[in-house]
A and B are shown apart, each in its own frame.
Chain A
Amino acid sequence: MSTITVTVNGKSYTKEVEGRTLLVHFLRDTLGLTGTHVGCDTSSCGACTIHLDGRAVKSCSMLAAQADGSILTTIEGLAPGGELHPLQVAFNDEHGLQCGFCTPGMIMTAADLLSQNPNPTEREIREGLEGNICRCTGYHNIVRAIQLAAERTAGVPA
C-alpha cells in the first residue's frame, strides 16, 4: 500500500492505495466519481479520459500511484456550480450523444483539444478524437457539438 495525495475537481484527498490500483478504479470506487467510465480492456475507447495536470489521459492505463501529487479533473469537475460547461451545453444542443456512455471521455478529450487549439478545423477535431470510440452516434454530431462549443467560446479564456 502507499499513500497518495491528489487534488480532484478542486478538492484535496489523501488516501491509501494498493500499488496495482488503476487510477480509474480509484476515482470510481474510492472517491465515488462514477462519471468516468470503463469501456474496454485494451486502452482503446477513451471512456475513462480525465485531465491529469491539465492534459487528457486514459485513467484505465495508469496507476493511481502515478497520479500522486497531481491535479485531476473529471467530468464532474466541469460543472462545479451546477452550471454546465460550454461543451456539455453544445453536446446537448447538437444531439452529440445517444446512450451517453462515451460522452464523459469525449468531452474531456474535447476540452483538452480546445484548450490547445480554440478554433480547430473539422479534421483537427476528428483527429483529436482518435482515442475515443462511440458506438452510437457515428461521430457527426459529436464533431458538430465541439465545433459549436468552439464557436461559442471563441476568444473566451477557459
Chain B
Amino acid sequence: MIPQKVDYKRAGSVAEALSLLSANPDAKILAGGHSLIPAMKLRLNSPSLLIDIARISELRFIHEQDGGVKIGAASTHHDIVSNATIRELYPAMAEAGELIGDTQVRNVGTIGGSIAHADPSADWPAVLLALGATINVEGPAGAHDIPASEFFTGFFSTALEEGEIVTAITLPAPSAAHQSAYKKFMQPASRFAIVGCAVAIVADGGTITDAKVAFTGVSDAAFLDEAVAAALIGQPAIPETIEAAANAAAEGDIHINEDHFASQAYRKHLAKVYAKRALVEACGL
C-alpha cells in the first residue's frame, strides 16, 4: 500500500506553514501522520503537498498558564500522558491518552492532529469538551480562539476554516473541588472508542455544583450531553444521583451511530453504562 505521489515540505515555523498552506490549496498539514498516512496508503486522501509541522518547536510544548495548562498542537499523545501537571490537574486527560491506540501510535500521533481530523470515535474530543477547553487557531486572518463546544461540528468536520491550523489547546484552571474521568469501551482491534465518556464535575461539600459530560463514538461528532449534566447539577454526589443522570445519556434528539460492532440500541446502552462508570470515578464513590 503506497500513497499517491505527493510533495513534502517541512515547515520551520507557524508562519511558514500558513504561507505554504495558502499558496497550495491542495496541500495538507502533516503532524504525526497517524491518521493521514494510513488514509493516503488506502488512497482515501491524495493531497499534492504535505506540510510537516511536527518539528516546529513553537507547536510542541506543554506549559502552565493562569492555573491551567496550554498544550502545543504538535505535542504527542505520549508527551501529554507523561506530563505530571496534566496528570494531577486533569485525570481524564491521562486516562484518555493512555487508551489511545498503542505505544507506537502514542509516540507519534498528536493532539492537534487528532482534533483537526475529528474522527467520530477519537478520544481527545470528548475530554476537551468535558474540560471546557479552548482551541487556539491561526490562519490567514490571524489568531483566534474556538471553544471546544463549537469546534466539533460533525462527521470528520470542525470549525477550522480553509487555511487555518490548530496551534494549541488551552485547558482552563480547574476549581478546587474539580474532578474528571474518562472511560471507554474500545474496538478490540483498533482501540478506537465504540463509546467513550468524559466527565468533569465540581462537588462542593457533597453537592454537585457544576458538571459536564461528553461522549465520543456515540454520534457523528463528540458532543456534550446536556441532559446528563442537568440531572447532576444541584444534586448530592450519591449513587442515586449518578444512576438517574446516567440513564438520561444519549436520549433525545441525538443521531446514534450504528455499525457492525454495535447497534444503536447497544451504543445507547453503553453510553449509560460508561457515563455511570466515569461519574462513579469522578465522584470518588
A interface with B by C-beta (< 8 Å): 2, 18-20, 22, 25, 41-44, 46, 49, 52, 55-58, 61-63, 65-66, 68-69, 109, 112-113, 128, 130-132
Q: How far is the CB of B185 from chain A (nearest CB, A)?
A: 16
Q: Are A112 and B7 in contact (CB under 8 A)?
A: no
Complex contact B37–A63 (CB within 8 A): yes
Closest to B40 in A: A20
Partner of A131, one of B6, B37, B104: B104
Residue with the highest number of chain A CB atoms closer than 10 Å, among B37, B102, B104: B104
Contact digits for B1-20, partner A, Cβ 8 Å, 1 yes 0 no: 11111111010000000000
B275–chain A nearest beta-carbon distance, Å: 25
Nearest 8 A-B pairs (CB), nearest first? A131-B102, A19-B8, A130-B102, A65-B8, A20-B3, A55-B107, A41-B1, A19-B6
Nearest-CB residue, chain A, relative to B82: A116
The residues of B that contact A42 with a CB separation of less than 8 Å are 38
Instruction: Count B interface residues, CB 8 Å.
Output: 32
Cα distance, A20 to B30, chains bound together (Å): 12
Further pairs besides A19-B8, A20-B4, A41-B42: 9, Cβ < 8 Å: A2-B8, A20-B2, A41-B41, A52-B107, A55-B107, A62-B33, A65-B52, A66-B52, A130-B101
Give the A-B pair count, Cβ closer than 8 A: 81
Asked whether, in the complex, the Cβ of A20 is within 8 Å of the Cβ of B104, the reply is no
Q: How far is the CB of B94 from chain A (nearest CB, A)?
A: 14
| Residues of B close to A66: CB separation below 8 A | 30, 33, 52, 54
Residue numbers in B under 8 Å from A65 (CB-CB): 8, 10, 52
Specify which chain B residues have a CB less than 8 angstroms from the CB of A20 in the assembled complex.
2-6, 40
Q: Does B34 contact A (CB under 8 A)?
A: yes
Residues of B within 8 A of A25 (CB): 2
